[in-house]
Amino acid sequence: MMQSSLWGAVAAAPFRPLAVVVAVVVVLVALRRLAGGRLLDPLRRRLLFGVPWGTLLTMAGVLAVYWFVQGAWWYSRPLVTPFRTWSYFYPLGMLTGPFTHAGQGHITGNLMATLVYGTVVEYVWGHYPRERGTQTFSSLATNPFARILAVPAAMATVGVFTGVFAIGPVVGFSGVVFALAGFALVTRPFLFLGAFLANRIVDLVYTALRYPEPTVGGATRYITPWWADIAIQGHAIGLLAGVVVAGLLLRTRERRPRPTRVFFATLVFAIANGLWAVYLPVGGGRFTLYRWLGTGLVFLLALLLAAGARPLDGRFPRFEWHGPSIATIAIVVALGALCLASVPTNLVQIGPDDVPENGVEVRDYVVTYDEGVRDAYVGSVPTPFGVGEAQTNVTQSGVVVVNADREVWIAAVPKGRLSLNKRVPVIVGGVGWRETVYANRTGWSVLGNDTVYRVQLRREGGERRTAFTSPPSTADATIADRNVTIRPSEDGFRIAVTRANQTVGRGPVPANMTTSTIGGLTFDRNRTRLYAGENGTRVIVAEKRKPRN
C-alpha cells in the first residue's frame, strides 16, 4: 500500500516539465562555457545588467491589464467585448483594444513575441549613450533609467496608434509586436532573423512545459479560416510604423544594414506571419481570400523596405528628410493610406433601430439570437468622403450582442459553433463588472430532412427564455399513410401527424422513456431517439444530438 502511494506521488510530480527546464539550463550553461564565458557580454555592453528592462515592464503592464482589467485572474474567460476598438465614438475601446486579449493563447503568443523582438529593439536603442565623450547620467538622454522608461512609453504610444487606425473591432498587442519586428528587421536584419527563430524556440519550450505529454485524438470543432482571425491591416500598420521609427533612428547613426539582408528578413517574416492574407467578409460566416493580391504586396513590401534601408553613400533611396527618396515616400504614403482606410470603419454609430427587440437585456447590452440578420456594424460603415452609408448585403447568423452606447454589434457566437457545442457562454460587461449569458440550442435531427431546433438564452441565475425557433421539418418516412412533422415551440417540441395533407393529431414530444399516441401513431422515446409505430411497424423519425465540448 505504501509502495503504491509512493509511486502515485512520483507519478504526480511534475518531472516532465522539470526535465525540460533541466535540459534547457544545462544546454545554456554548456553553451556559455563553449563561448568562453562571454555569451552575454554584448547584452551587458548595451543593456543595464544585460536585461531588457523596458520590454519586461511593458510585458508586465499588458499582463496586468489581462489579469485585472479583463478579469482573467479571477475567471477562466477574460472579458473582451467592451475593450475592442469599436468606434471613435467609444474612446474606451480605442484606448484599451491594443492592450487587451481574447484568451490565454492570444496573450501568450503576443508576450513571447514581445520578449524576443523587444529585446532586439532595446539592444539597438541601448541603455547607455553611444556618442564618444558622452558621460552616462550627464543628461536625461544619457540616463539609463530614462532610456529604459522610454521603451514602454514608446510601445504604449505605438499601441494607441495601431488601435486608433485599426480597421474594425480588433483586440490584442500584435500591432506593437509587428512594430517591434519592423524596427528590428530594418536596423539589424540578421539579428532579427535570429530572434525570429528564437521566438519559435521559446514557443516550443513553453508548449513543452504547459503540455509535456498530451494524449489527443480526433475531434469535431467549429473553426473559421485561420487568416480570417488576423487583423491584417493592423499588423501592416504596426510593421510600417516600426520601419518609419527605425528610419528616423538610422538617420542619426552611420551604420546601415545591407538592402539584400533587409529584403530577405522582410520576406521571411511577412510570409511566415500571413501578411499576404488579404481578405474580405462576404456574410454568412464566409470570407474571400485574395491570395494573388497579397502575394504581390508582400514582395513589393520587401522591396520597399530594402530600398529604404539603402546606405547613405548609395545613389538611391535613403531615410533623409531633407531629400526623401521614392522608397521613403512610398513607405510613408502606404502607412498613411492604411491609416486613412480605417477612418470610415471607425466612424460607425449603432443607433436604436439596430438594437433587437427580442433579447435578454444586461444593463446597456442586449443579447439575442437571429439568423440571416443584417450586420448592423458593417452596414453602418460610411462610404468614403462622407457620401451616405455603405450599402451591403452582409448578413450574420448566431448569438448577437448589441450595445448602442458602446457602438457594439457583433455575432459573438456563430450559428455553426452553437449548433456543434449546444451550450455557449457569452460574456458582457465593462470596467469593474461582468455578467454571463448562456445560449442553449436544443433540437431534433429529423429523418431525411432538416434539423429542427430552438435557441434559449439565460442570464446567470435567471430563467431560460426562447429567442429563436426554426421552421418545422417533416420526416421522410411514411407510416400507415401518415407523415410526421416536428415543430419547435416556446415550451419544447411538438409533433403533428398528417394524412393526405390533413392534420389528424398534435401533441408534445414524449418525455424520455415514455410513450404517447398522436394521430393514430404510437410515439415512444428512448433517450435520444424518437420512434413512431403502428401495428408492429416501428421507425426512427428523429434523433436528438448530444452537445459537444
Instruction: Report pLDDT digits (tens) over 194-218.
Output: 888 888 888 888 888 888 888 877 7
pLDDT of residue 317: 47
Evaluate whether 265 touches 359 at the Cβ level (below 8 Å).
no
Span of 126-135, 166-175, 396-405 with lowest mean pLDDT: 126-135
pTM of the model: 0.85
Round to whole Å and give the CA distance between 304 and 291. Answer: 20
Evaluate whether 431 touches 364 at the Cβ level (below 8 Å).
no
User: What cell was used for 481?
Assistant: 399513410
Helix (H) or strand (E) holding 182: helix 174-187
User: What cell was used for 497?
Assistant: 401527424
Q: In the structure, what pLDDT confidence band is assigned to residue 171 with cuts at 50, 70 and 90? A: very high
Portion of the chain with pLDDT greater than 90, in percent: 49
Residue 136 has pLDDT above 80, yes or no: no
pLDDT of residue 112: 93
In 3-state terms the chain splits into helix, strand, coil percentages (rounded to 5) of 45, 25, 30
At 342-356, the pLDDT tens digits run: 998 899 889 888 898
Q: Which residues make Cβ contacts (< 8 Å) with residue 209, sequence separation at least 6?
A: 17, 20, 21
Partners of 503 in the β-ladder: 498
At 37-80, the pLDDT tens digits run: 676 777 788 888 889 999 999 999 999 999 999 999 999 899 99
Span of 225-239, 467-481, 517-531 with lowest mean pLDDT: 225-239
pLDDT of residue 140: 80
Residue 226 has pLDDT above 90, yes or no: no
State the DSSP code for 382. B
Mean pLDDT of the chain: 85
Evaluate whether 355 touches 404 at the Cβ level (below 8 Å).
yes
User: What cell was used for 390?
Assistant: 455603405
Partners of 444 in the β-ladder: 452, 544
pLDDT of residue 392: 59
Side chain identity, residue 42: P
Q: Which residues make Cβ contacts (< 8 Å) with residue 302, sequence separation at least 6?
A: 262, 263, 264, 266, 267, 270
Longest CA–CA separation in the chain, Å: 105
Q: Estimate to the nearest angstrom the gap between the alpha carbon of 127 and the chain centroid.
A: 34
When comparing pLDDT for 163 and 128, which is higher?
A: 163
When comparing pLDDT for 30 and 87, which is higher?
A: 87
Evaluate whether 183 touches 243 at the Cβ level (below 8 Å).
yes
Q: How many CB atoms lie within 10 A of CB 534?
A: 16
Looking at residues 145-162, what average pLDDT do you find? 94
Q: Is 68 exposed, middle or buried (0-12, 13-18, 19+ CB in 10 A)?
A: exposed
Round to whole Å and give the CA distance between 459 and 131. Answer: 63
Q: How many CB atoms lie within 10 A of CB 344?
A: 16
